[in-house]
Structures are given as structure tokens and as C-alpha cells.
Amino acid sequence: MNKKLLMSLLLLVCLSLTACGGNHGTSSSKGGDQLVIAADQDPVGLDPQTVPAASSSRIYSLIYNSLTKINSNFEIEPSLASSWKVSDGGKTITFNLQKGIKFQNGKEFTSDDVKYTFNRILDPKVGAIAKSYFTSIKDIQTPDKNTVVFHLNNPDSAFITNTSSVYTSIISKDVKNLNKEAVGTGPYKLSKIVNGQYVLLKENTDYKLEDKPKIKSIKFNIMKDDEQRLAAIRAGKVDIATLNSDSASLLSKSKNIKIKKYQSMEYSYLGINNDKKPFNNIKVRQALSYVIDRNEIIDTVWKGKAELTGPISPAQKEFAADVKSFPSYTQNLSKAKELLKEAGYPNGFSTVIQTASTYPDMVDTAQVLQQQLKKIGINAKIEQLEWGKYIEVWKSKKMDLMIGRNTSGSDPDRSLRFFFATDGSANVWNYSDNKFDKLVQSALQTTDSNARKNFYQEAQELLVNQDAANLFLASPINYYAVNDRVSHFTPSAAGEAYALLNATLK
């Protein structure tokens, strides 16, 4: 009897092996109306206001709408708001809402939902990501069900851009557990989530806004390994995959696959504790800025697939400073040595660079910097931290040097005030400069767009050249591999959802 069992098991294995060999050569995936995307992480919750993880936002940004949206040229376009008007010297903003829009649970979308959404964002107990975007709100009025009026404490030039953020997605006042239920007004409905496996979205057939999707359903299959995504897109099992630049170059000669790239809004930086010896000395920070070679980081860590950056990513062409013209962006060893000597450290000093072990590029960056700092006698020890510990150190404001990554946001106000103003929510570097604070505040309050640009230009020069508060290193180029069955998918810094809504399937 045992022999029989063994034989039948053997037979099963043989069967399965032949089954493997049987269907090679088929190139396209499922076919039909479903787009399959290889996602590198599980979503960690779907509340658009409190969960900033990219693995979550790429999904909820398809389920919800915001009042406005941003296109690939960073221009504001209508979404749930059909038009808006700024009055009272910039202190009153009136949004006219689209009529006849329904939430996916059948409830009508009205101005009450907008008010509910913004009140929730401002509620300190919720801990909304976008809370710091809207500190200028004094009160919100809803004169009728299609009009929302925001009264502000002061003019806020970033306000309308900020209403395009996915973190300000309009939620229904009837939905309580936003991490479990995803009920938006958006082009797709959540159909199924199987943890660790996939997320399935189906077209919202009642969707009335202009950006109606052309693909019936989108499936995000979780494939955490880069090699795995590479193999899956090659075999045509998935239609779209995000890849690192190495994997992307491997695919450049593949048939049926196109590589699409775009300048990301992210940048890597060396964070400096402006309050801690010896970095509280401005000359030491300047010396750091002169000794490092940002181009070497771009060439070795990113294999040339990144751009020089300041605190505003080069993707945001209108506001990003031309950092190449900054003197400290050219390595100058003698100047660095001189500055260090003036600061009282002629022979350098010892310090620690902390980095997150989760991200190989951050570890590589730390290693390149370690070598570069040695040139002026600074001995840096690298500490690789697990992600939870890393966040804890980041928040502690007690680090020496720290490698990190920021997303610079679609408005320069976020890139500068949020991260570097004295009271900025993410200013963990103890950086405080009155002049900088005034500049970013003035930029926020002016309604003249040229004046605004000049304020931000000056603020960037101050932050980077004069104060060297942090060292901004490189803004990577991101890659997508796309099967030929997909057309009109053009990724940009405007976001994946924007590109997906324009895409079609053959």
C-alpha cells in the first residue's frame, strides 16, 4: 500500500513538471479587460488621510477624488470642484462642486462631505497627514449643497494646490472605518483585498467626471522581490511593474516590453543635526557640503540614473533652484579643509551616520559619503537601523548625521516650510533661521506668483548655500516596465493614478 501511495505521489510530481513545460511561449497575460500591476508591497490600510505609505496611496488614489487634481505639467485641474474663486485678498476661497456625483455606496456627494473631510483632517486626534497643509483655515461654510467656502486667517498661496493632494481625498461622512471600507467617488471601486496576494479594483460604472477610466479592472499583485517582478513582466504575467534601474536596463532589449521613466519627486539627503556639536557650527556644515561629491553619489549609487537636487525636486521645474550653479555643489577640498580649520577642527572629528537597512540605496549612499568625509579627516561610523528603529531615531531629533529620503510634495511650501521652518512638522534637524521662516511665510501669503517664485528662490539659496542645513544629494529617475498590450500609459510625477486613467489595453 505504501508503494502505491509513493508511486501516485511521484506521478503527481511528474505531471506537474510536464505541466510547467507545456505553456511557455505565451506572451500576454490574462487578456481581456484586466490590467495586472506587480506591486512591491501590501497596502497597509486604506485611509487616505492617515496612511501615507506609497503601497496604500497608489490604490486609494484610484478610489477617491480630491477637490482638484494636478496634471503632468503641475497645473491644477478641476476634479470634484468644478471651479473656484479666490477673494478678499486671498483670505476667502470658494469652491463650486460638481453636481450629481455619488459615492460608491449610493449616497450623494455634497458640500457637507467636504466640510466633514476637512474637519477630520484638522482634528488633532486623527493625526491626518495633511493637517499641516491647512493651518490657515479659520472656518468652513456650506451655503448650499454645491458650494464650500473656506475662510482663512491669512492668504495662503499653496491652498488650492494642496487640495489636489491624495491625502485630502474627499470621504463620505457616513463611512466610519476608513482602513477597512474604501468608499469614494473615484473611478474605481475596491472589489477584493487578499492580504499578501492581491488587491482587485473594478471600474465604477457610475463615474461621471471627465477622467473616466478606459480599463475595466486593475489588479495589483504583490511581488516583493525585484527579481520576481522582473521575471513576471518578462513572461508576460503582469502588464506593468516598477523596477530599479538595473532591472530596467536588463529589459531594454526585450520584445513586447517598453521601459518608461520619469523624474521622481523624491530626493535623498544627508540630514544634519543643527543643534549638536560640532554641527551647530555653520562652518562645519558648509565644510561637509564642500567635501562631498554629489556626482559621485549619482554615478555609483544610482548608476547615473538620478539628477542633482535641492530641497525641491528637479521634477518641479518651476520652483526648483538651479543647484548646479551653487558653489557648494562642486567639490572643493581646500575650501572644505579651510572651513573646518576655522571652525576649530583642523584634524577633523569622529561622528556617526545612521541609515535604514531596508533601502540598499541609502546604505550605499552612506558608504560613499563615509569615504568622501575621510578626505578632511572626518571619521564617520555607519549604523544600519531597522525601519522601526530608524523612524524612532529620526523623530528623536538627537542624531548626528542621517541618510534619508523625502518626497518634496507638489507645492514648494511643503518642500520648504514643512521640512525646514522652525515650527515645521518634519523639521527634526533643529534647524532654525528667522530669515528663512520669514521668506517661506511671505511666499505663502503672497498672491503674486512671480514674487512667490523669488521668495522660494531666496529661501533655497539660504538653506543650501548659506546654512547648509541638510545636504541634498540626488533625485532618482523612476522606472516602469510596461507590456506592449498597454498603450497611453505615461508615468510622471503627477502620480501613477493619473497615468493609469489615461491608459488603454489592446
Partner 1 sequence: MGKYILKRLFSLIPIIIGISIIVFLIIHLVPGDPASIILGNNATPEAIKALNAKLGLDKPLIVQYFDWVVHLIQGNFGTSVQTDQSVLPTLINKFLVTFQLTLLSVLIGWIIAIPLGILSAVKANSVVDFILRIISMLGISIPNFAIGTLLLLILSVYFGWYPPIDYVNFWDDPISALKIFILPAITMGIVLSAGIMRMTRTSFIETLNKDFIRTARAKGNPEGTVIVGHGLRNSMIPIITIGGMQIGYLLGGAVIVEQLFSIPGIGQYILNGIYHRDFPVVQGGVLFISLIFVFVNLIVDIIYCWIDPRIKY
Q: Applying CB under 8 A, which residues contact partner 1? A: 9-10, 12-13, 15-17, 19-21, 23-27, 36, 42, 44-45, 50-53, 124-127, 129, 131-132, 179-180, 194-198, 221-225, 227-228, 230-232, 234-238, 386-389, 391-392, 394-395, 425-426
CA distance 475 to 459: 19
234 vs 485, which CB is nearer to partner 1?
Answer: 234
3-state secondary structure of 74: coil
Farthest-apart Cα atoms in the chain, separation? 90
250 vs 343, which CB is nearer to partner 1?
Answer: 250
In the chain the first and final C-alpha atoms are separated, in Å, by 54
Q: Give residues with Cβ within 8 angstroms of 428, minimum separation 6.
A: 271, 394, 395, 396, 397
Least Cβ distance, residue 347 to partner 1 (angstroms):
34
> What is the 8-class DSSP label of residue 77?
E
Least Cβ distance, residue 369 to partner 1 (angstroms):
21
Least Cβ distance, residue 359 to partner 1 (angstroms):
13
391 vs 451, which CB is nearer to partner 1?
Answer: 391
100 vs 124, which CB is nearer to partner 1?
Answer: 124
Least Cβ distance, residue 437 to partner 1 (angstroms):
20
CA distance 74 to 217: 27
Q: Give residues with Cβ within 8 angstroms of 238, minimum separation 6.
A: 29, 36, 37, 38, 221, 223, 229, 232, 483
Least Cβ distance, residue 288 to partner 1 (angstroms):
23
CA distance 479 to 264: 9
Least Cβ distance, residue 423 to partner 1 (angstroms):
13
Least Cβ distance, residue 43 to partner 1 (angstroms):
10
In which element (H, E) is residue 282 found?
helix 282-291
How would you classify residue 13: left for phi > 0, otherwise alpha for psi between -120 and 50, otherwise beta? alpha
Answer for the pair 148, 95: CB distance below 8 angstroms, yes or no. Answer: yes
210 vs 392, which CB is nearer to partner 1?
Answer: 392
**DSSP readout, 251-279?**
HTT-TTEEEEEEE-SEEEEEEE-TTSTTT
Least Cβ distance, residue 248 to partner 1 (angstroms):
15
By DSSP bridging, strand 147-152 and strand 137-144 are antiparallel
Least Cβ distance, residue 160 to partner 1 (angstroms):
21
Least Cβ distance, residue 221 to partner 1 (angstroms):
5
CA distance 90 to 129: 24
For 86-180, where are the alpha helices, taking DSSP H only? 111-122, 159-162
61 vs 132, which CB is nearer to partner 1?
Answer: 132
CA distance 252 to 99: 46
50 vs 61, which CB is nearer to partner 1?
Answer: 50
CA distance 417 to 397: 17
